[in-house]
Structure formats: C-alpha cells, structure tokens
Structure 1
Amino acid sequence: MRADGESVRIAKDVLCAGSTAKVCLPDGPAEFAKALAKRGARRPVVIGDDRALLRAVTLLHRERELAGAVFSMVPVGAAVSLARSLGVPGGPVAGARAALDGTERRLDLLVDDSDGVVLGGLSIPPVADGAGARSAGQPWWRACGALVRGLAARSPRGGEPEDAGPARLRIEADGATLVDLDQPVRGVSVRPSAGDGLARVEVRRTAEEPVCVRARTVTVTGADFRYRADQVTIGGPVRRRTWSVRREAWSLALP
C-alpha cells in the first residue's frame, strides 16, 4: 500500500539521521532470516506489523539467540494491536525515535511444546476473522515490511475470542486440573504477565463464573482444537498442547 511505503520511508529517514543504520528490504522469508542472521552486534529494528515482529522473535528463539538480542519495532500496517499492547508507540516517527532512544525492557513470553512462541497471549477457540487472519493472505511486503539492522553507532542526540460454542477441554495449570472434559468451556485465554514468570489463565465456562489463576505451565487437552496466538497465527488442530512461561526471555526497546 502507498501509505505503508511512505511510512517505511519516514521511519528509515529518522533512523538513518540518528544512527549508522543498515537498511534491508527482504523479498521473502528466506531473505528475512538471512538479514537477521547477519545482524552481528547491531540491534535489529523491525519495520512492519505484528506478524513481522513475531517472525523475527521466533527465528532468534529457534536459533537460541533470543536472550542476547534487543528488538525495536516501528509499527507499519493495519495489524499492530500486539505492538500497541507491548507499549510500542504508534506512527513511524514515534516508533523510530523509540528505537533510537528507548530503554531496554525484559519481557516474558510463552513457549509451547512444538517450540512456538507467544508474545502477547493466546485464545481458544481462535477468533474467526480478525485483522491478523486477513493479513495472512497479503503479500510479503505488507506482512513483514522492512528489517533494519543498525543503531550500533548513534548520533550525539539522544481481542476477545468470538463465541464459537462450548468445547470439551481439559485445562491444567501447573499440573492441577481447572476444568475437565465433562465441563463445557466457552473459551480460554492465556497471557504472560509483566516479568514475574507467570501466565494469567482465564477459563470461561457456560453456566459458572470464570476460573482465573496464575501459573508457569498450562496444558490443554481436547479433540482436535485450534488456538490463536498473538492475534496473527492460528495453530492446530492438536489434541494436546503445553505452554510454559519463559521469564524475561526477550528484550524490546520502549519509551
């Protein structure tokens, strides 16, 4: 989109004016991964939407290099609700300035037993047609924008799930059963907390009050269920999945 291209140009100008930045415009997932792998000691800055940030964090997690990286993000595109929830300022100028002058914040994340990561939260059942689902079929440029590798040398100037009907799920938190298969469930949400190594778990039942707990691990078992992570990816169908909290596992530069 023309507006997205203009936003990328503005962000690039602000970053290059305030640092020695190397700008990469990857043409696909392979080039995106290659650019990230060649970052060296430079700080990766993702210019794009939530899907681009999640892809970058996932790549470094799977390379076991996530702990040593500090991400910055300039949100561009329509699907940036995850970025907003993490505290990333909106707009190319504010986002680029936060990348230049922001403070490193260590954040928790969820890792599942298939090595997938969740930054902001997951829901069961998945939202049927949110903004993230619509972006899945868009061109690579709209989904991932640009990856800026730079900032090593600076200048002197400093959604709730839709109601899809009850499901039969067993939900366990730290080994304790919250709801078993004989209790219909309207929805489940799991979100990492603010740096305390625990997840906030909410189970919404059909005829009773929600069950809300905090736990380090959450296991869901059921018949071919799907889940939505960070409002951008849909996982499954699976019959069992466990998510574990990794405390302060990644870093994001924020104002």
Structure 2
Amino acid sequence: MYDVVLLTLASERGAPGGCGSGEACCGGADATGAGVEGADTGPTPGDADSCATDRPRVPVLACADALTARGARVQMVTAHSDAEIDAVLAQLDGPARPDGLTWPDADGKTRLVVATASDGQLRAVLRRLVRRYAPAPSRRPADLRDDRTLPDLPPVAVLPLDPARGGTQRDLAAQLGLPRDPAAVAAAVLDGTPRRLDLLRNDGGSVTLDGALLGAADDAGRPLHWRARVEVDDTVLTNGDEPLLACAVGNAGGYASLDDVTLLAAPDPADGQVEVAVAVPVVVRSAWGRKRVRLEVRRARGRAVSVLPREGKVPYLDDGVEGELTRKRSWWVEPGAWAVWVV
C-alpha cells in the first residue's frame, strides 16, 4: 500500500519565513525567491483561521479519511517555508546514483497530494521540485532527454480548497478536468495513472504551469500602453517600437482571453509548445476618412519566448501571482516534465 503525504501551504504573517519574505503563503503567494518579483495576494475569503493556525482544512481531513479507509498510510503536513516543503519532497527521492545527483524515484510508493487555495501555491511546490531535481548544466547526465533540462518530476494530486474556482473562475485544476471532491482525489491517488504535462521554466529561476499575462490598466479599468520586444523562437511579434495593450504567454488556457478579446487561440498544456499573443492597437481609416482604433492580435507558437521591456516596469500575473517585469524575461518549454494523478 502507499504512503500518501497531504501537503498544505500556510503562512504565519509577520513571522520569519512568512509572506513578507516570499515564502509559501496562504491564499495565493508563491515561494518565488528571486524567480518572481511578486507580492502576496492574501488569503482567500474564509481562510483566516487556516492561515493563522495549522488546523487542517475540511477538504484535507475528508481526503485523509478517504485514503485511510483504503488502507493508505497518511501524513498531513502544513508547510510554512521552502525548507518545510523540501522536507516533504525529499520523501520522493530515488536511490543514490553513481553520479551523485538527487533523482526522483520512478517506482516509489510515496505519493503526494497538494492542497491548493490558488494556482500560485501549486506552482510553489513545482518550483521546489524543479530546484530539487534539475541538475546543473555542468552535471547533465547521459540519461536525460535531449529536449529537457530535468527528469520526469513525480506526479502530484491536486486537492482544490476553493470549490467556487471550479466554476466561472476556472483554476488550473478545473481547466485540466481534475476532480475536486476529496474522495475522488483520493481515488485518483490510489487507482489513477499519471497524466504528463508541459512545464514552463524561466531564466528568473521560477516556473509557470498555466500562463502569464503582461500589461496593466488604470483606476478606471482602461488598458495602459507599454512597449516591449516579444520574440517566439525566431518570430518577432513586436520589436518594441509600437504600443501594446497585453501580452499572453500560455501553457494552458487561464489567460486565453482578456475581457472580450481572444488572445490565445488553442493553448494545450501537453503539446510541447508555448503559445504567445500580443494585442496591438492599430489606427485605421474608414472609407470616409475617419480614424478608428482596431485591436490587432498577433500570435505565434514555439519552444521559447522572450519579453524585453523597452521602458519602465511592466506589471504581470504569472499563475495568478503579481509581479513587475523590469528586464528581459525568457520562458521555455519542458515537454511532459510534470504530471498529475488522474483516474
């Protein structure tokens, strides 16, 4: 039978290692470190008690009961820091290798369930998995896939803590069609198979599961213009000389639309490519000579994308985590690098 770890991320506000230091936070912060220049989005409604204490949430207890009823040995962990997340992930390590690399156990009997209040929390765990198992370029082993910089990461089960986000808000679990009921999550862990998905890494040291949306609006909700060079493989979507309203970097479909504008045509989290779109306001003249602004959406797909701001700071959301881009940022695809348990 399996050992199952139910991992919840929490925060003790104001304490060392809490939200103020960029550690794993309740309700949406990411353990970003230097990878994302982000801010804590705060706890989700109704999470005040779970943020302040280590009491497990009701869905976590229900999932634990379902797992125990099936004979699994269950460990519930509330992590307040990267170090505590790492201690859980160490249970997924494989046997020692001759090259000394830390590698996941492909045949391990320990399985991980991540209880998430936000996509940013799931990303925090995946970021620690990448940091744990991605070898330095100088130590790249011969058994690593040519199109990857890291091995297959251990599959995780996702236990959403906010049922509402399966509806109109559409978190990543909803996009992927993952179960939200604790008993169904337990069944996926014990009886399911891994569904492998693409992962975006970036040169800031972080990862992206769903996507990123760059751009900002004023207090009245009107989009603000900004400029950047956006390049996908060898295709330049804009060289930075024209104003932009938005740029979407999509692995999945969370940022496929902005208001009533379709940015990403067909994002697929398992096709080995990143889809990128920029929204450019273009002035055109009618047959009567009148000027009007038309929004032109340019799209491209490829293995990597770079965004180079031409002036100032560019606000963005990356898996729901806020940040500001002040220098060039590049994302690239790691095909099939992470996985979720599905029935």
Same fold flag (TM > 0.5): yes
Note closer, same or farther for the CA distance 1:25–1:126 as it changes in structure 2 (3 Å cut).
Answer: farther
- Secondary structure, counterpart of 1:210 in structure 2: strand
C-alpha displacement at 1:83, in angstroms?
1.9
Higher helix share: 1
Does residue 32 in structure 1 map to residue 32 in structure 2?
no
Secondary structure of the equivalent of 1:25?
strand
| Alignment-derived partner of residue 186 in structure 1 | 245
SS at match of 2:178: coil
5+ long unaligned stretches in structure 1:
129-161
Alpha carbons of structure 1 residues 7 and 101: separation in structure 2 relative to 1, 3 Å: same
Which residue, 315, 336, 342 being the options, matches 1:226? 315
1:60, distance to aligned residue in structure 2 (A):
0.7
Per the TM alignment, residue 194 of structure 1 is displaced from its structure 2 partner at its CA by: 3.5
Tell me the amino acid that sits aligned with residue 124 of structure 1.
L
Q: Give the superposed CA RMSD.
A: 2.4
Instruction: Say whether residues 1:82 and 2:207 are aligned partners.
Output: no
Larger RCO: Structure 1 or Structure 2 (Cα < 8 Å, ≥ 6 residues apart)? 1
TM-score of the two chains, using structure 1 as the length reference:
0.77
SS at match of 2:228: strand
In the alignment, the residues of structure 2 paired with residue 239 and residue 58 of structure 1 have an alpha-carbon distance, to the nearest angstrom, of: 21
Question: In the alignment, which of 300, 306, 325 is matched to residue 213 of structure 1?
Answer: 300
* Aligned mates of 2:65, 2:217 — CA distance in 1: 37
Give SS of 2:307's match. strand
Gap runs ≥5 in structure 2: 1-46, 51-55, 94-107, 135-150, 252-267, 283-294
Aligned counterpart, 1:238: 326
Match of 1:140 in 2: none
Q: Does 1:164 align with 2:212?
A: no
Kindly provide the amino acid, as one letter, of the partner of residue 35 in structure 1: V
Name 1:138's counterpart in structure 2: none
Give 1 or 2 for the bigger CA radius of gyration: 2
Alpha-carbon displacement from aligned partner over 1:61-80 (angstroms, at most 9, x marks no partner) = 01126624111111113667
Question: Which amino acid counterpart does residue 105 of structure 1 have in structure 2?
Answer: R
Matches within 5 A, 1:1-255: 1=47, 5-29=57-81, 30-40=83-93, 41=108, 42-49=110-117, 50-64=119-133, 67-77=152-162, 81-125=171-215, 164-192=223-251, 193-207=268-282, 208-222=295-309, 223=311, 224-231=313-320, 233-255=321-343
Displacement, 1:27? 4.3
Is the CA contact (8 Å cut-off) linking 2:235 and 2:300 kept in structure 1? Answer: no
Q: Aligned AA for 1:60?
A: L
Q: Is the 8 A contact 1:75 1:95 kept in 2?
A: no
Structure 2 CA distance for aligned equivalents of residues 87 and 163 of structure 1: 33
Between the two proteins, the alignment pairs up a number of residues equal to 221
The 8 Å contact of residues 216 and 224 in structure 2, kept in 1 or not, is answered as: no
Change beyond 3 A, Cα 1:116–1:126: farther
Q: CA deviation at 1:51?
A: 3.0
Q: Which has the higher strand share?
A: 1
CA deviations over 1:148-184 (Å, ceiling 9, x no partner): xxxxxxxxxxxxxx75311111111103211121111
> Which whole-Å CA distance do the structure 2 matches of 1:210 and 1:89 have between them?
34
